[in-house]
Amino acid sequence: MFNYNGRRFDIVDTIGQFDKDSKGNIIPLTDQNGNLIDNLGRRVNSRGYLIDEFGNVIDKDGRQLFDNQHLMDDEIPKIFPFTKFNIKNVLGDFEMDPLGNPILDRDADGNFIDRQGRRCNSKGYLIDKDGNVINKNGKLMFKSNLLDNEGDIPKVFRTGLLKSDTASSLSRLMSEIGKNQPSEFDMEEQRI
């Protein structure tokens, strides 16, 4: 799995050791301060992930993998190497300046907009009224608290580590397969 910075990790290294109930649910313990701990006395959250004193998920060596604010109900995001993401689906329609920055217009309220009049942030990502990154269909993709201080989406989604197959690339692949299959005419010629 990947964290938001694109660093690989093994989920086993993030989970504490617990006894389980008859349904397979973990049974965390509590220390003298009321903090949840595993059987080895390490601090954990309600889902059993190892955490530091700030609630950030860490691995067994104490390296931080996820910020507390990036967890949803104490659960980490599941980003696998086979996770598909196409950055073009969250970018507005704009030109780039020579330094690689998006050239955006502003609406009457001073908000950044793309050439189609859709609201964007300064990095060119399509956003809703609350600053959350959305895709071209308006579906929420990244809550604003996941964006860095410059408005960029998490690094793992910008670096090309994830697959970006789209329907168009699938149709190209199917077309190539079709071109390489012998036709009925070719088969008939081979029999003659």
pLDDT in tens, 61-81: 999 999 999 999 999 999 988
156 near 162, Cβ under 8 Å?
A: yes
CA distances from 182 to 163, 178, 185 (A): 30, 8, 8
* Average pLDDT, integer, range 129-151: 94
CA distance 73 to 30: 19
Say yes or no to pLDDT of 167 above 90. Answer: no
* Average pLDDT, integer, range 7-12: 94
Say yes or no to pLDDT of 192 above 80. Answer: no
Using alpha carbons, select from 62, 96, 65, 91 the residue that is nearest to residue 79. 65
* Average pLDDT, integer, range 37-48: 97
Mean of the per-residue pLDDT values of the chain: 87
Read off the pTM.
0.73
152 near 144, Cβ under 8 Å?
A: no
The pLDDT assigned to 184 comes to 46
CA distance 159 to 140: 20
76 near 69, Cβ under 8 Å?
A: no
Say yes or no to pLDDT of 170 above 60. Answer: no
27 near 19, Cβ under 8 Å?
A: yes
Is residue 163 very low, low, confident or very high in pLDDT (cuts 50, 70, 90)? confident
